A and B are shown apart, each in its own frame.
Chain A
Amino acid sequence: MNNVDLSKPTRQSVKGLLIIFIQSIRQGIRMFWALIAVVVLQKNILDNKYLIGIVLLIILALLIVHTILYYLNFYFYVEGGEFILKKGYLHKKILTIPIERIQSVNTKQNLLQQFLDVLTLEIDTAGTVAKELKIHALEKQYADRLNELLSKGKTENFSKDSEETEEFSKKNEQQVMALSPSDLFKIGISQNHIRAGLIIIAFGMQIFNQIQDLFREKADEYSGEFVNFLSGSSLVLIIFLIIFFLLVSILFSLFRTMFKYFDFKLLKSEQALRVQSGLINKRNVLMPYNKIQELNWETGPIKQIFGIYSLVFKQAVSGQNRRNQLVDAPGCLENHLELLKTDLFGEEILNKSPRIFSDKYYLRRLWLIYGWLPSLALTPFFYAEWIFWVAAPVWLILTAIYAILILRKRYFRINNNQVRISKGAIVHKWKQMELYKIQSVKFRQTIFQKRRALASLQLTNAAGSMTIPYINELVAKKIYDYLLFHAETSEKSWM
């Protein structure tokens, strides 16, 4: 137990000066990169070394002054159940966050920070101020102490009738799971390589385009050659290219997984889950159970061989897209998943409720949209190229199979506390949430659905929404009313 006083206004670690300095340089470059590029490219300016030196010196001096002022005016403390952060010297800013509104506390460490033994602390609320609540050079002790306080605050707030509010400390944390390098290897291999491949191809295209812009004329020659080369070469080469891309993307996902989830650990205490991972950028996220809105998990064909599931804990989002900040576990075994589900949702009873599948009409609609409409839209080409006469039926068959796969996995289970939906075509995905976390309910029915007494439902919680398409109209209405009844009578804190 360290004796850091949280109520006393504290500045960042002195080592933070260096980090602020580097960040300001980075920011400056990001803002003025166009200007810098122009200056560098214009050679006659660079010739005047004297001038350059003075300008650089002035910039450096300004940056140092900025860094020191920024450092001196940046402090934070806890007062009256609120976390307060003051910053800015020209334009002063005070950020106040009630501790009970805090969604999660994340810490990150990049290489430099690891070297200096400081870390970045991010406080997540569902509001938009969260983005600014970042402290880039915090000493580890302070972060630990803050984490402690937050977990304790939670305990006091949300279990009024509990026996005893236990001191939070890392000692009574329990490890739920850890991933060894060999686990990560398996996970890396079983990633969605087609997606990774597409990212690489898109990335490559972008670079290619940029190069083309720069050396337009030459690139034309080269790409012309390339096209000639491709069209002149045999099928073998194309197959070779595909294999090459596949290998690259496998390596790519392997390295990405290795770096991002190195030394991955998921720990649980009484009130919260903690995730830590990372090789170069270390991250550490503390997340109270009751702030988790939804648990998502999925498995794909390759993952199934290894018995691996990947999961995501979804928390309240604040307007802007924050996919990067989602807390996820890239891979875990079925028993880990079951354990986590029990922790989050209590004993597994949903499996007793029957699966309710989407109606077969859903399949017809999917096939119509993905299969028939594109095929029919392309009919003008049927006159031009014979290949379309072959492609269209093949496409129809493929989309039919796809639609069947979707329908097979599209079901949900509901009981009086929870709902779980299942979906996916090749990858099987599940989402589970507690009913009282509902934010709004939407009922949708087209005139075509009405004729068959079908309807779709959309259930929204603070983290996102889940859809239940094409189910019996009456069931949909009953669920609609029941969910509202649940949300309106629930006294539990949903966030």
Chain B
Amino acid sequence: MENFNNSIVLPENLPAVEKKTFTRLEKKYLQVILARIVIFFLIFSGAFIVYILFSNELPPRIFLVIAGVVIFLFYAYTFLINIIGFRRKGYLVRENDISYQTGIITYRVTTVPFNRIQHVEVNQGVLAKLLKLATIKIFTAGGNASDLSVPGLPVDIANNLKSFLAEKISEHE
């Protein structure tokens, strides 16, 4: 491979990260996502209502209606996008790297080679704990930009994955 332009055609034999080969997240995880949105919505609209109740001078009614509609539409949109987009979320573990994909409007996929992983962590939020789900976090030396986390894994799979990765990391040291 003298020149990459040649190799643009050449690496046909390089393994490609294919969208379809990804493992989807546990269906239960959608509940966590939606619950989070609901909680956020309640806090936000609560603040909005408190503001209306306690402010001396109300802005014109039309303004309030528009604000309410905008907030409602925003949440309807977030809800829908998350439900539709959930099918897209998934991870892929290959022989030498791990990938995570997400996003229906903006599709993103990140891959971290095993030999670049610094350490691995398994986290469990309160909501996830109720549903026996866990998030695996993978840290590299590149700071936040290159860290990768896979949410919505069953606890045992997350732990297995963690020990698998830990083994892979020690191989490369």
Contacts and interface: CB of A to CB of B under 8 A. Distances in A.
Interface string A296-316: 000000000000000000001
Contact of A443 (B5, B108, B145): B108
Given A446-B106, A446-B107, A481-B11, A416 B141 contact: no
Contacts of A444: 106-108
A440 B112 contact: yes
Q: Determine the interface band of chain B, counting residues with CB < 8 A from chain A.
A: 20 to 34
A439 B146 contact: yes
Nearest to A354: B5
Question: Main secondary structure on chain A at its contact with chain B?
Answer: mixed
Contact of A440 (B2, B8, B14, B146): B146
Interface in A377-428: 414-416
Contacts of B160: none
Find the residue from B16, B112, B148 having the highest chain A CB count within 10 A: B112
B15 A465 contact: no
Nearest to B1: A416
Contacts of A461: 142
Contacts of A481: 11, 14-17
Interface string B95-118: 011000000111111111111100
B108 A478 contact: no
Interface string A418-451: 0000000000000000000011111111110010
B104 to A, nearest CB: 8
A126 interface: yes
Given A317-B143, A440-B146, A461-B142, A478 B11 contact: yes
Given A353-B4, A447-B105, A478-B11, A488 B110 contact: no
Interface string A449-485: 0100000001011111100000000010110111011
Contacts of A477: 16-17
A465 B143 CA distance: 10
A414 B4 contact: yes
A30 interface: no
B109 A482 contact: no
A441 B141 contact: no
Contact of A442 (B5, B105, B110): B110
A43 interface: no
B160 to A, nearest CB: 22
Contact of A450 (B4, B96, B107, B108): B107
A464 B110 contact: no
Contacts of B143: 317, 319, 462, 464
A63 interface: no
A465 B145 CA distance: 7
A267 interface: no
26 contacts: A353-B5, A416-B3, A416-B4, A439-B142, A440-B110, A440-B111, A440-B113, A441-B110, A441-B111, A442-B110, A443-B110, A444-B107, A445-B108, A446-B105, A446-B107, A447-B104, A458-B145, A460-B142, A462-B140, A464-B142, A475-B8, A484-B111, A484-B113, A488-B113, A490-B115, A495-B141
Interface of A: 126, 316-317, 319, 352-354, 414-416, 438-447, 450, 458, 460-465, 475, 477-478, 480-482, 484-485, 487-488, 490, 494-495
